[in-house]
Chains A and B, each alone.
Chain A
Amino acid sequence: MSIAVETPTVRLDHLVKRFGALTAVNDLTLDIGRAEFFSMLGPSGCGKTTTLRMIAGFEQPDEGELFLEGRSVARVPPYHRNVNTVFQSYALFEHLTVWDNVAFGLRRKKVAEAEIKKRVGDVLDLVRLRGKAASRPRQLSGGQQQRVALARALVNLPAVLLLDEPLGSLDLQLRKQMQIELKQIQRQVGITFVYVTHDQEEALTMSDRIAVMNEGVLQQAGTPEEIYEQPANAFVAGFIGISNLLPGVVEDHAVRLRTGQLVPAQLDSGMRAGESVLVCVRPEKLQVGRGDGAHARVEGTVVETVYLGTATQYLVELGPDVRLVAIESNVHTRHRQDRLALGSRLELAWLPEHGRILRS
């Protein structure tokens, strides 16, 4: 998390960006700290890329202010901002070698040729492409091209590195590998990364903090744990991981579910009896048939089981259109007959502090 006394590397102050009738980014306020790995997460069209392009200087905000290292950059063109971008398409210069691609930024800044030689060499070592310096981009694999794009931006040692879904076009295995690699590189160079993605798992894996956006509006910003464990609303709860959302109505220190059960709940102050809410419980927090008096308990019918290797996933129907996903670790259920059959009755229990109550 950012430290309050330090000037944030990026400060977005009530940013608004409209394209015609569409408001792409609506009143966005965010601070991004030094050396932070910050992800902007959301479905396509949520305004995350537009925000990134405003930081880079390719788009001008219609309202609000944008500060880089404490300085307002309203009138600063992209080529004078201490910011570099890794584009989704990589946008490598096909007519130049890998070396010249990476040296492009330093040459524009009239850095001495000897220093260029050292810095380009170092950054190519960092991304393990020293041997490919003389190649053209099209002679490289997708993962290598991705690393050239990264090196080309990093070599300039920007205050902020912007990454626009940089792993989007890689296959799953390479993507996993690059996620770890990117995170390591970020730690090594200590540059602020602003990372745009629609992949919630990627954001959870890599980020120090995540901002979840939807339809141009910031839904929640926080550490991965905060976002996962204490989602601010139903959108965040549904977008990150699997969540079980049970509709109900507030009663005294409890929620009456639509299916009839009364479950104990930790209510936010200000939630009054009669208010409609959603109880949000993560699948791994649900215990299969092992609750006691301290637990919230519900009973339902198993309508599907999925064997996941390390765990078994049950889909349990509580009532019409109310279903829960529960995950039970396969410590004791090594054989098929150890698992619950379809149609069997099942009790699920959770601790009240694991059930987050969201206003619906």
Chain B
Amino acid sequence: MATAVERSATAPLSSAPADATGRRPPRPRAFDQPRFLKFFTAVVFLYLFAPIFVVFLFSFNSKRSTQIFATFSLRWYDVLIHDQSMLGSLWASIEVAFVTMLAGTVIGTLLAFGLVRSNSRVNRPADVLMLLNLVSPEIVTAIALLLVFSEVGSILTPLGFKLGLSLTTVALGHITWSIPYVTIIVRGRLASLNREVEEAAQDLGATNLQAMRLVTLPLLWPAIIASALLVFVMSFDDFVTSYFVSGIDLEPLPIRIYTMIHFGVTPEINAIGTIMMLVTISIVLLALFIYSRQQRARLTFLAE
């Protein structure tokens, strides 16, 4: 009961009250009463969203004009759903994004496990290479991919295989840059997982594989799903890589739109643009929601 007092008695008796914390310094006034800040913020947001809003608005224009808004109509959406080639491209983009998402998420997650869990000497170099991939200019990667595909294609053709530029090469290209995004997100979550949780599962009779399936993966799901959705979106509206490595028969949607602009801008582009935007934004919001909810729950859990 009296141990604390007794203990301090054997140590130096005069322990001055160490008041290390002190008071927080007052915040700079400029941040308390921002004069220009509100205005400046409004301008930035206007700059960011005005063009998108124009696209959104004019997709409902009843006239062909892209400058004068007449009346509200769904005319261009009607045109769009009867445009077989546009719908084909939309479907192609979804297909590519789906394949990229699956492959990128699996490979990226495995890489995250390797980087966090192994003590290998290739750990650091692998980490740097992954980040290098992330920051290298996409156009360089795209050109490199084009060269690789045509080279590999010319080797494979005499052997009876075909690797012409097609949706397959687009997906292969997208997978290359999607991996680091998954790895970075999943790695963060994995590193914050307490290793003792897995040990606890083993302690309770789970083999390594069961511990992975029953404990580790369920705790990682939010990060994995969030990164998968992010990769889906990035692949879905990718232009640069797709432009270089897609074939001529069926183009992904962004390339299709680009080609279409050569023949003049029609409000149909506004309509497809609006749809793309809504799809993208809702998926990103979903990803953010899943990830942040998990993080918040985790933080409150740790704070207890």
User: Cβ of A145: which chain B residues have Cβ within 8 Å of it?
Assistant: 304
Would you call A105 and B205 a contact (CB within 8 A)? yes
> Which residue from A87, A94, A242, A283 sits with its C-beta under 8 Å from B301?
A94
Would you call A95 and B2 a contact (CB within 8 A)? no
Is B215 part of the binding interface, using a Cβ–Cβ cutoff of 8 Å?
yes
> Given contacts A94-B219, A310-B2, are A325 and B203 in contact (CB under 8 A)?
no
Is A332 part of the binding interface, using a Cβ–Cβ cutoff of 8 Å?
no
> Which residue from A80, A137, A308, A325 sits with its C-beta under 8 Å from B10?
A325
Is A294 part of the binding interface, using a Cβ–Cβ cutoff of 8 Å?
no
Is A84 part of the binding interface, using a Cβ–Cβ cutoff of 8 Å?
yes
User: Cβ of A89: which chain B residues have Cβ within 8 Å of it?
Assistant: 194, 196
Output the residue of A58, A138, A153, A308 with the most chain B CB within 10 A.
Answer: A138
Would you call B203 and A78 a contact (CB within 8 A)? yes
Is A141 part of the binding interface, using a Cβ–Cβ cutoff of 8 Å?
yes
Q: How far is the CB of B221 from chain A (nearest CB, A)?
A: 8
Closest Cβ neighbor of A308 among chain B residues: B2
Inter-chain CA distance A109–B214, complex, in Å, is 14
Closest Cβ neighbor of B221 among chain A residues: A95
Inter-chain CA distance A142–B301, complex, in Å, is 10
Would you call B200 and A91 a contact (CB within 8 A)? yes
> Given contacts A79-B206, A108-B206, are A306 and B9 in contact (CB under 8 A)?
yes
Is A39 part of the binding interface, using a Cβ–Cβ cutoff of 8 Å?
no
> Which residue from B2, B5, B9, B205 sits with its C-beta under 8 Å from A109?
B205
Q: How far is the CB of A228 from chain B (nearest CB, A)?
A: 13
> Given contacts A87-B199, A308-B5, are A95 and B205 in contact (CB under 8 A)?
no
User: Cβ of B6: which chain A residues have Cβ within 8 Å of it?
Assistant: 242, 283, 308, 313, 325, 327
> Which residue from A79, A80, A87, A105 sits with its C-beta under 8 Å from B196?
A87
User: Cβ of A275: which chain B residues have Cβ within 8 Å of it?
Assistant: none
Would you call A138 and B301 a contact (CB within 8 A)? yes
Q: How far is the CB of B173 from chain A (nearest CB, A)?
A: 36
Would you call B218 and A95 a contact (CB within 8 A)? yes
User: CB-defined interface of B172-205 with A at 8 Å, one 1/0 digit per residue?
Assistant: 0000000000000000000000101101111111
| B: contact size bracket | 20 to 34
> Which residue from A142, A152, A308 sits with its C-beta under 8 Å from B204?
A152
User: Cβ of B304: which chain A residues have Cβ within 8 Å of it?
Assistant: 138, 140-142, 145
Inter-chain CA distance A53–B2, complex, in Å, is 33
User: Cβ of A137: which chain B residues have Cβ within 8 Å of it?
Assistant: 301
Output the residue of A85, A142, A152, A327 with the most chain B CB within 10 A.
Answer: A85
> Which residue from A79, A93, A94, A95 sits with its C-beta under 8 Å from B202?
A79
User: Cβ of B300: which chain A residues have Cβ within 8 Å of it?
Assistant: 138
User: Cβ of B219: which chain A residues have Cβ within 8 Å of it?
Assistant: 94-95
Is A67 part of the binding interface, using a Cβ–Cβ cutoff of 8 Å?
no
Inter-chain CA distance A95–B196, complex, in Å, is 15
User: CB-defined interface of B268-301 with A at 8 Å, one 1/0 digit per residue?
Assistant: 0000000000000000000000000000011011
Inter-chain CA distance A218–B32, complex, in Å, is 61
Q: 15 A-B Cβ contacts within 8 A? A: A78-B199, A78-B203, A91-B194, A93-B215, A108-B210, A145-B304, A152-B204, A201-B3, A304-B9, A311-B2, A313-B5, A313-B6, A313-B9, A315-B13, A325-B6
Which 3 pairs, one residue from A and one from B, show the smallest C-beta to C-beta distance? A108-B205, A138-B301, A105-B204
Which B residues are closer than 8 A to A by beta carbons?
2-3, 5-7, 9-10, 13, 194, 196-197, 199-207, 210, 214-215, 218-219, 297-298, 300-301, 304
Given contacts A78-B203, A201-B3, could you give 7 more A-B pairs where the C-beta distance is less than 8 Å? A87-B196, A92-B200, A104-B201, A141-B304, A152-B204, A304-B13, A308-B2
Which A residues are closer than 8 A to B by beta carbons?
56, 58, 77-80, 83-85, 87-89, 91-95, 104-105, 108-109, 137-138, 140-142, 145, 152-153, 156, 201, 242, 283, 304, 306, 308-311, 313, 315, 325, 327
